[in-house]
Structure 1
């Protein structure tokens, strides 16, 4: 086996002790191997094989995820740049991450719960998804820094003039009653946090990010294999363990990346009449393919309310949209939820 990459890492243990480890990537006849080796002094104390297989992309995802776990536990590389990605954060990004870290450690839980309650009520009254109104990250920051004015709200990452005009008064009415220990601007945060704890937290965030990437990559592989074997939507749902909607979202991704899902499309549309398929296709030609709801009512009529619900019909729209986008690549757009 040829070693193509190796790095040594160190973690402080106790007052004076240090633990060392070695991270390596090897290749032999198109097969990749990825491993971690622990050392105690000059002796090897443990060897773990993280990956063995033929996919460079999957190996790289495993590498980044497992390395983030180790760095979250305190290991640091002797040579920087170990993630093989754009790991250089701007000073502004660093500041925003530190605000997020502080808010997660020192947020006012009572205020956070009140903000979450406000979000549930507002989402219901405006018929919007809660995350569109405000993310958990933003509500955490509001609960930690307790802004008193619109100008202070605007100093929080993720808050713009639009959000302030829509919801600022509501947020400020919630934070007004809480006592706060620090004022704005928030430059004091940089000195209020422990740098090593922040760095470990940052790598924990990377761990979650790379875990999602790895899960997505493996889901794509499972679906590609299932499609090639001639499985339908319900079989793919059971095989992958995700919803039919998520199966379709990944199928759309695969098509964008140059893979073919035609076997699945042909199978799922085999019992849909040519007339119905033609109506959907014509609707896409007339009004475009970015929004599904207008296409649905153009194809089926304004008063279309099937007894068994609309999910099956939206699936048909999305499957036919894949074919439509193959023939009209200029129309390829962002997948928009119905």
Structure 2
């Protein structure tokens, strides 16, 4: 096997190096292997993280597995795994440090009260709770305890509109507890107070969740592409991936945008749809555009058909035909 990438990492505890490790990538006749060698004392343990023919898939696994290790405290001996300077000293880092500090110094009593207020407010306004305030914003308020709307606006995640609407309630709850706050506004003192290595570890844990989600999405795409190659219908794709039918159709639309052809499964799903209905849908797309489906639905089907209990199935057919329509429109020769 030919090693194409190797980097050493060290884990520090109480100012001393406790463990060392290496992350490596190798290639042998088109097969990529990637793994982690952990060195403890005189022992070395190798764990293979990936073995296969997809460079893209391997990179997704690499980023996720490595960021988990860096979240555990490992640091590269030679920089180059990521652009550290941009990640930890770029724009937006001040806000990230406020969030990190709030999670490290939580005020659970006030935070829980704010969550109860948000739940009641959401029910009264008939909104989702996250539209009132995010968990992170409530945690920031509970820790930094602003006393005025001006101070409230210095917290990331709150604009003037929400500050005007919800600010009085939030400030009243903060004042009612009467506890001392860790420091005054402006909050530039947080930059000095927060431990840099604690912040790096926290940032890597945020990346872990992001990379895990990306890896799951990539795995889903791969499973759908394999299902298409095997000629499975939509139900077969759903059984294999665990997706709902609408989620599967939406993923087919994304694959088409990326240049993959999904025509075989589209034709399987609309083969029992009357040809005149298919033609009517196609004509409606030409006349009304393909961005919104509701006008097309109302043009093609009467109210009885729409209210007959199968509206989701009708929308599914429209989405599938739209895939073919967009492909043909994209491939049509341009005038002039």
- The TM-score, its normalising length taken from structure 1, stands at 0.85
1:118 deviates by 4.5
1:329 deviates by 4.3
Is the 8 Å Cα contact of residues 228 and 263 (structure 1) preserved in structure 2?
no
Q: Distance in 1 between matches of 2:48 and 2:156?
A: 40
1:70 deviates by 0.7
Alignment of 1:273-292 (within 5 A): 273-292=274-293
Q: Which residue of 2 aligns with 1:252?
A: 253
1:253 deviates by 1.6
Q: Which residue of 2 aligns with 1:45?
A: 44
Q: Distance in 1 between matches of 2:139 and 2:295?
A: 37
Q: Distance in 1 between matches of 2:295 and 2:117?
A: 31
Q: List runs of 5+ in structure 2 lacking aligned partners.
A: 332-336
1:120 deviates by 4.2
1:127 deviates by 5.1
Alignment of 1:95-106 (within 5 A): 95-106=94-105
Q: Distance in 1 between matches of 2:297 and 2:85?
A: 41
Secondary structure at 2:47's aligned position in 1? strand
Q: Which residue of 2 aligns with 1:3?
A: 3
Q: Which residue of 2 aligns with 1:163?
A: 162
Q: Distance in 1 between matches of 2:33 and 2:173?
A: 54
1:30 deviates by 0.8
1:211 deviates by 0.9
1:22 deviates by 1.1
Is the 8 Å Cα contact of residues 33 and 51 (structure 1) preserved in structure 2?
yes
Q: Distance in 2 between matches of 1:86 and 1:277?
A: 55
Q: Distance in 2 between matches of 1:85 and 1:256?
A: 33
Which entry has the higher C-alpha Rg, 1 or 2? 2
Is the 8 Å Cα contact of residues 13 and 19 (structure 1) preserved in structure 2?
no
Is the 8 Å Cα contact of residues 101 and 198 (structure 1) preserved in structure 2?
yes
Is the 8 Å Cα contact of residues 10 and 18 (structure 1) preserved in structure 2?
yes
Q: Distance in 2 between matches of 1:224 and 1:189?
A: 48
Q: Distance in 1 between matches of 2:124 and 2:5?
A: 55
Is the 8 Å Cα contact of residues 32 and 54 (structure 2) preserved in structure 1?
yes
Q: 1:326 to 1:142 in 2, by over 3 A?
A: farther
Q: Which residue of 2 aligns with 1:147?
A: 146
Q: Distance in 1 between matches of 2:221 and 2:55?
A: 15
Aligned length: 329
Q: Distance in 2 between matches of 1:94 and 1:13?
A: 25
Is the 8 Å Cα contact of residues 37 and 44 (structure 1) preserved in structure 2?
no
1:270 deviates by 1.6
Q: 1:199 to 1:126 in 2, by over 3 A?
A: same
Is the 8 Å Cα contact of residues 8 and 78 (structure 1) preserved in structure 2?
yes
Q: 1:301 to 1:60 in 2, by over 3 A?
A: same
Q: 1:78 to 1:265 in 2, by over 3 A?
A: same
Secondary structure at 2:50's aligned position in 1? strand
Q: Which residue of 2 aligns with 1:236?
A: 237
Q: Distance in 1 between matches of 2:318 and 2:32?
A: 40
Is the 8 Å Cα contact of residues 25 and 33 (structure 1) preserved in structure 2?
yes
Q: Which residue of 2 aligns with 1:93?
A: 92
Q: 1:93 to 1:15 in 2, by over 3 A?
A: closer
Q: 1:25 to 1:204 in 2, by over 3 A?
A: same
- The TM-score, its normalising length taken from structure 2, stands at 0.86
Q: Which residue of 1 aligns with 2:60?
A: 61
Q: Distance in 2 between matches of 1:180 and 1:232?
A: 62
Q: Distance in 2 between matches of 1:329 and 1:149?
A: 54
Q: Distance in 2 between matches of 1:105 and 1:119?
A: 22
Q: Which residue of 2 aligns with 1:21?
A: 21
Q: Distance in 2 between matches of 1:113 and 1:153?
A: 18
1:305 deviates by 4.3
Q: Distance in 2 between matches of 1:329 and 1:126?
A: 43
1:97 deviates by 1.2
Q: 1:15 to 1:199 in 2, by over 3 A?
A: closer
* 1:268-296 CA-partner distances (Å, limit 9, x unpaired): 11222233333333443344333333443
Q: Which residue of 2 aligns with 1:335?
A: none
Q: Which residue of 1 aligns with 2:107?
A: 108
